[in-house]
Structure 1
Amino acid sequence: MKTVLITGTSSGIGRAAVLKFNNEGWNVIATMRAPEKETALNQLDNVLVVALDVQKSASIANAIVAGIDKYGKIDAVVNNAGAAIFGVFEQATEDQVNKIFDTNVFGPMRVLRAILPYFRTQRSGTIINITSQGGRVTFPTCSIYHATKFSLEGLTEAISYELIPFGIRTKIVEPGSTVTKFVGGAVVTGGEIPEYEQFVNIGLGNWAKYDTMASQPEEIAETIFTAATDETDQLRYQAGQDTELYLGKMQDGNDQAYVDYMRERFIPEYLNTKK
């Protein structure tokens, strides 16, 4: 039996991924910040629920050791834990920016630093970083979030070259909108600059209006499982109808055509206005 370690499994995509891998016969190290609150996953055969906070290196190392002690090895790691932030860049506090980067960028980096020595020694392993359609395309009022996901995309693509000599496969899964608690738990940048209020309301309002293609977390979990098991060197995996729509628009036309499309779709009230 193969073994996968997944971060951020208390809900949403991470939880669905645990169930998918478990149903397919894998051992699963299901990690979360507060495993003492879990009442269902820890009842499953071949699922080990352990504490892991991506902001704490010691907890990551402890989870990896616990997983290896339990199952003998780790074959794949899914960096799923993440957080959202909405609002315009200028209104984001330094603390908000630091916290979201610590979770979405430095967190996966800590997991990678902890698992890579093991994978190099093993001469095999699969890393799957869950980024977002927001790691390839951008929406108004999501600038800080995009900065984190573009960073994770770039890091993952770059290390995919570095890890080839060790037989380590590196994958990126790019979900679109998903029916989870992710958006509801998002941080919103402050409102201390009233000139932005109308823009934020328009941008978020239009985003919500078009958010009609949200995937179920189980659909994203299917893509994650494919990335873990297809035994190819494919780097990116798109997940969700809206991801296919927006990335398709970006890839089909020239860069400016794509930017114009997104402006007209999400902030048409601000186009062709004299300053």
Structure 2
Amino acid sequence: MNVIELAIRADAESAEALAAAFNEDAYGGAVIEQVVTPERGETLDAARPFTVRAFLLKDETLEEKRRAIERAVWALGMVRPVGELETRELAEQDYANEWKKFYQVLHVGARTVIKPSWLEYEARENEIVIELDPGMAFGTGLHPTTRLCLAMLEKYVTPGCEMLDVGTGSGILAIGAVKLGAKFVDARDIDPIAVETAQKNVATSGLAKSIHVARASVMVEANPQTFDLVTANIFADTIAELAPALLQHLKRAGVFIGSGILVERAYLVENAMREQKMKCIATAQEDDWLVMVYRHKTNDE
């Protein structure tokens, strides 16, 4: 069966929204690529340096799914700068190789390696290898926010610690944390597709006893379970909104890692964390994206 490739250029914030829209209907999920070197005959659009790419099966559902994606692109284009939606048809055998070329072995931080299952890689001393297949969930290592979070996990995961991962997506942070030494991770997501993808990746990694994946979010509770580490690779607005609940699950000496934060939206997280009496202890930036690390303030701070 042939497939239809969809591609559109956008800025960082729009790329995130477009990928979410594509994931509703795309076959195998969406890929966000950063265009560094344009293809021959193309030009680099500095205002829209990302390409969101996805595929639709050419079956009886094609037109309905394509119209849904076109409506989402039109709606976003009313408020954000996005390019034209480009399409082309590929034979099934071409598609099988086409989408794989966007995935490669990625080195993140000092010792984390992300590897698609079809590629061979021999780990070096002290490296951890996360094996993932791309699915319809956020978090393959192709996006800066995922890389930023993994690099911070290398610094803040301690042997035997317990972690809460909110918005787990593909489960990549949960898997990385356990491979770095965490004893247990409670991985949550409200998207059923993400939950299914994370469960598969956790099972493939042989870590089902150490990682519990559930369709859930966080809320303020009377007797919350607390963790040494809380991660939320979502959006700045959502982190700010959920801050009281997220931090209620953080032990007094624990560390919170938040990402998915555009530089221009960082003030939302800063304000919310200030209200919760949290202190920023580290930040890192890649392109327009930030990761922000917090701990509870001491009595004299």
Smaller-chain TM-score range?
Answer: 0.3 to 0.5
> Normalising by the residue count of structure 2, what TM-score does the alignment of the two structures yield?
0.34
**Higher RCO (C-alpha under 8 Å, 6+ residues apart):** 1
Pick the structure with more strand per residue: 2
